Structure 1
């Protein structure tokens, strides 16, 4: 039979209309044959998983770089002129760099594969009047499904029958407390978080039981819509990628300029085209720091390992550096800033209010308060145990219990008071129960102990007070007055304004009582304020981020007052922040005004936001020039996690969708790990900037030397393979040592760097030019000294240029210390990797002269000791000049 599907707004339909629209029945459901037919018609209840980059695409992606393209051209030209060794060497450099990036990305993907849950779930469905277990992906529209505590909802649906049904929707909406469900019909403008007659795929049943009719499967569920949004959200290029691309473009123009000058002069002077092409190849090889991708990859991989040790799994290498540039963190509330666990925060009695904390089964009274009203407290604890449907044995044994978290917290209170909930329940036999409902807002139970009856009740303060005729104050019970009721209501409103969920408690003891209408003439005892508390480590982390110049913004699906209260508790608000904006107040982003953009950028808390609005807020910040980190653990966070420059998911509580989408996964779910990761990111950027300056200055000196020698001593010009050796040996290892060094320990006391600035500033370019000129000068001094005082042999002159440049580049690493640091003791000289790199490079340089095969491959000859001495002395010239400048500055 044909049915109308999808249904636009099932929450607006009555139960009867749902049955009629989807051609199903409350007792029979649909038949097995009809289920099979609808499965063919509407497909499986599953989502297309995010498209994974194939292994081949991952490998090919490592070759997509302008540097790589030009090196391929240089290798091709070398091969054309039968310089096979040179061509192969260039190709090996390209391949090594690609393999390093490929294996690091593959390892990160493998780590995420290990986090995936592969369980196949089943759902209880009524087919032809019989309850059957059906694979969740085979559920169809119109199926009548059963729900009970502990179930994971496998499809969206309209509730048609329920008994104390409460659902944890925090992963979808951000609501901390379980949502009590009913079968009432709602209006079309009700927010997703307030659709209390619906259940949604991926949420969990915490309490009660019920039935619902499936109204949405697969991509027509709220979860499916978010999945589509995630797939359509585009990831932006990382700041490091952009900066290296900009640097590459500059190097390309420098190379083309120098090549054009040399070629033009060569044509004018009548030089051979072979010499011009060979020089052009040498310039191409000299211009690009072939070791840069390798060093950057290893430095980022090292940062990845450091972050992994600090509980942050980095899925993409470039995310390590990007995190260091973050200047705003947009964070979810539930499970990220808070524990996503309900705690008792305040006790209120007729003449006393006490803030409390229960941790690891121990109750403490804040501000060293002394509890005066012990009688009321003991009675309230007893009521909390008796008027309770939580699995007490599991709570007592400290197992993860399924049930209403408020009721679980009440059992935890009894345990902290050294009471045994199971023993209490055995003494007080339950005879009857009035379940909590959205109409009465009260739960009551009737118990018998020996020959006496005990009535316990908890619920809404306003509604429970209507059932109370007396009040207990210590060991006295007296008639409750209107003034006392007014004071109790005022106190409950104050507690609610502080972000607490408030329940009142009452009881009555009788020799005899009615078993039906027993919630009358109750004795009021007091109130408890419940809270999803901020994580214990969150406040110091917020302070650390603020000192580092990072703005923190909360974006949640929870209630505005709850969100604002959490922000106040953790010290997130600053004086110039607008307080809170609810999602329904936000305009459509397609037509957003400049005034609204400014308002969004100055607001600290966004509440009742949809996944789409979270995505749009991220976009507003990015368009304003911010580097955005987005944290979250729910399905509703996934689109924004993907859109942000850095998406950070919680590893323990995070949904699989969130973890798959994020760039970084926190193993301990701690916001503190974010602050630590940002610090590592900043240190790594400093190191990257340091070794980029080192490498580019070395390569620029090679360009100058090749060009100058091409004019004045073409027979002694450095060969492409010699330059490649320098770039991959004498440049790479010192640069790598700089990349692995410890950064400035005060990085988190400084503001974030401007994301618009390039990796090398104009000031840095001036220093690079000076460094390059000094290294060029050292080579020219050695070359001309040898030419006029020792030998005119072009091979020996080529060798002295090679040796001088090699050692001047090695010693140049000491010029990378801070201008304000000491000459002898600084961050470079204290870096053990630098000394190891220098020793290794010196051995390798000398080693190529020892073996005839390596000498022949590089075009080298045996060099007399006096030439070695001249080369070493000349190579010290740049470091002496720079250090003298630093000392007198």
Structure 2
């Protein structure tokens, strides 16, 4: 396990150094390990896609009916059935072929690059050319191209929500970890597909392609046994019943006719004609057209359906296990509450849209009274709020939430930085748990306990000395916010021209949340009315998960929240006993 090994041991095992691989060595390793890509299943040819439309039992019966109709001289019947067969096959083929092409285009849209050390110099290469032993450099905004062990971390934070579901960025370290840990707690590793939100780092690649954590998931998905959909099973059943029934009835008719004195050949023709008439030729076409209409509706909702019967399968769903971050929620941290001037202030608005109002006990207050909070939030911040089609954040989502708060108050980061440029800074680290900058004065933010340790004063309608009673009250409010599933940061400031983190003035607590999507509550209600159970899956803390599940209407009194560790400790029989009550 790479996270339990020292940096020197990892480099030795991978036969590399901090200066990276030689180019010749990297080329040799590509031959040994292959390209850093997820393997695709066997590519399906156009002919295979077309022929697969005629595999259903009912379609086979119709093809037999065509052959028999030709043999007995019923050419018109054979032509009509053939046209229906062909039309049904073409309709299904066109839909599946378009879906395959759409997925191929999506894959080609991105051509990621990686910054790597080769021959001791920095180079930009395609991520597909990375091999175990390569040393890569990461900075804000980069997508991690492979699974790596961190060699050096300069306040490196990673958004691992795509892998773990945890919406808060994880602060990374280069230190060796000793105990056995779940994936989300291996803080000296970075994983393929995750995003750098803060700081920078140097890492050595130890797994690429299908050997990465994402590759393992892809491998499991590829090994899943393909099963027939409920519709396919039903149609096959109908086909078999019709086929067997037609054979039995036609045989009886033929035998009875012969017993009554008719010629055997004449009765055979009658029997076959009856069998052909008994087969519902239009059924495959009706089913295909109906499913194709369903696919078109799904396309309008931005969903690509590969196989037509998958539309009907969705209608048979009884349980939906949904990821929280980015699916049930926006994956956009938003400040919901502020404790300032001995008041709890509620903030309206969702996501990164910088529009919202401020309320105390449901009465709107003047945002000008919060300019101090806006100034600290904007200046003690390394993120950027970008507005193109939508509002997005470059950098840490938590800092993004503070930027949005500042803009709601009416403070623009660019304007403030132009007036009060940054002169010095003390960056956030997992040890210090706070960040401070020097502009026109000192501005700080960080964990409430850490900020309070460095505060001698408090802003309470003016600056006064902070008391133990003040600190106790602030920590109690912090606990209350945390129990509601909110992530809390404290803000502080101090006048002065030298950057030092002591004798600060406590300003406020800011409590933020990754807000639920507006449409989710209604969707969950519709699922429940349809008899579908919704289970939320997340990497968040238990309290945060419970708060979100409560807000969405997923969790009720008596339901169970199961953590990853608790799940690992349960036997299959123990899990079966409680699974019906597990909602998170």
Name the TM-score class by shorter chain. over 0.9
Give 1:85 deviation, angstroms: 4.5
Confirm or deny that 1:97 pairs with 2:88.
yes
Partner residue, 1:246:
237
- Tell me the equivalent position of 1:620: none
Which of 529, 533, 537 is the aligned partner of 1:555?
A: 537
Equivalents in 2 of 1:604, 1:350: separation in Å? 39
Specify whether residues 395 and 415 from structure 1 end up closer, same or farther in structure 2 by C-alpha distance, changes over 3 A only: farther
Query: How far has the Cα of 1:52 moved from its partner?
Result: 3.4
Q: Secondary structure at the match of 1:236?
A: coil
- Cα distance in 2 for partners of 1:190, 1:587 equals 12
When residues 391 and 74 of structure 1 are mapped into structure 2, their CA distance, relative to the original with a 3 A threshold, is closer
How many angstroms does 1:507 deviate by?
Answer: 1.1
**Paired residue for 1:592, among 561, 572, 575?**
572
Shift in CA distance, 104/21, structure 1 to aligned 2, threshold 3 Å? closer
* CA distance in structure 2 between the partners assigned to 1:398 and 1:96 by the alignment: 43
Q: 1:439 to 1:89 in 2, by over 3 A?
A: same
Residue 438 (str. 1) matches residue 430 (str. 2): yes
Equivalenced residues, count = 581
Give the match's secondary structure for 2:422: strand
- Equivalent of 2:363 in 369, 381, 396: 369
Q: 1:601: which partner in 2?
A: 580
Instruction: Kindly indicate whether residue 453 of structure 2 is the aligned counterpart of residue 466 of structure 1.
Output: yes
Of the candidates 502, 506, 511, which is equivalent to residue 529 of structure 1?
Answer: 511
Q: Secondary structure at the match of 1:24?
A: coil
The 5 Å alignment of 1:509-588 reads 509-510=495-496, 512-513=497-498, 515=499, 518-576=500-558, 578-587=559-568
Deviation at 1:152, TM superposition (A): 1.3
Verify: 1:501 aligned to 2:492, yes or no.
Answer: no
Asked whether 1:457 is paired with 2:444, we answer: yes
Show CA shifts across 1:565-615 (max 9, x none): 111111122445x231112222589x611x42131122111xxxxxxxxxx
Q: Which residue of 2 aligns with 1:427?
A: 419
Q: Secondary structure at the match of 1:358?
A: coil
Match of 1:388 among 374, 381, 384: 381
Q: Does 1:19 align with 2:8?
A: no
8 Å contact kept, 2:58–2:284:
no
Q: Structure 2: give runs of 5+ residues left out of the alignment.
A: none
Please report how far the alpha carbon of residue 188 of structure 1 lies from its aligned counterpart in structure 2 after TM superposition.
4.7
Deviation at 1:350, TM superposition (A): 5.2
Deviation at 1:212, TM superposition (A): 0.4
**What's the offset of the Cα at 1:405?**
1.7
CA distance in 1, matches of 2:349, 2:66: 69
Q: Mark the runs of 5 or more structure 1 residues left unpaired by the alignment.
A: 1-8, 606-889
Bigger Rg, structure 1 or 2: 1
1:249 is displaced (CA, Å) by 2.3
More displaced stretch, 91-100 vs 271-280: 91-100
Q: Partners in 2 of 1:19 and 1:306 — Cα distance?
A: 53
Of 147, 161, 167, 1:156 maps to: 147
Residue by residue, what CA displacement relative to the aligned partner does 1:105-132 show, whole Å, maximum 9, x if unpaired?
Answer: 2233334344334332221111222101
Q: Give the secondary-structure state (helix, strand or coil) at the position aligned to 1:314.
A: coil
- Change in Cα spacing, 1:555 to 1:396, as seen in structure 2 (3 Å) is closer
SS at match of 1:604: coil
1:488 aligns with 2:474: yes
In 2: Cα distance, 1:585 partner to 1:135 partner: 41
Question: C-alpha distance in 2, partners of 1:396/1:84?
Answer: 63
TM (norm. structure 2) is: 0.93
Helix, strand or coil at the partner of 1:440: coil
**What's the secondary structure of 1:536's corresponding residue?**
coil
Tell which deviates more after alignment, 92-101 or 55-64: 92-101
CA distance in 2, matches of 1:295, 1:388: 60
Distance 1:62 1:144 in 2: 49
Q: Using the alignment, how far apart are the partners of 1:46 and 1:162 within structure 2?
A: 26
* 2:117 alignment partner, SS class: strand
CA distance in 2, matches of 1:573, 1:205: 32
Once the 2 structures are TM-superposed, how far is the Cα of residue 339 of structure 1 from its aligned partner?
A: 0.3
Secondary structure of the residue aligned to 2:41 is coil
1:477 aligns with 2:463: yes
CA contact (8 A) 1:443 1:458 kept: yes
Q: CA deviation at 1:396?
A: 11
Give yes or no for contact 1:29–1:129 (8 Å, CA) kept in 2.
yes
Q: TM-score, normalised by structure 1?
A: 0.62
Summarize the Cα distance change of 1:486–1:414 in structure 2 as closer, same or farther, 3 Å threshold. same
Secondary structure, aligned partner of 1:123? strand
Structure whose residues are more often helix by fraction: 1
> What is the rounded CA distance, in whole Å, between the counterparts of 2:517 and 2:51 in structure 1?
43
Shift of 1:397: 11
The alpha-carbon distance between structure 1 residues 41 and 545, as it changes in their structure 2 partners (threshold 3 A), is: closer
- Displacement of 1:446: 2.0
Deviation per residue, 1:416-472 (Å, 9 max, x gap): 22223222223323222111111110111123x3xxxx1111101111111111111
| 2:398 corresponds to which of 406, 409, 412 | 406
Judged with a 3 Å threshold, the aligned counterparts in structure 2 of structure 1 residues 139 and 107 are, in CA distance, closer, same or farther, namely: closer
Distance 1:466 1:202 in 2: 38
Could you tell me which residue of structure 2 aligns to residue 352 of structure 1? Answer: 343
- Residues 58, 235 of structure 2: 8 Å contact kept: no
1:791-810 to 2 correspondences below 5 Å: none
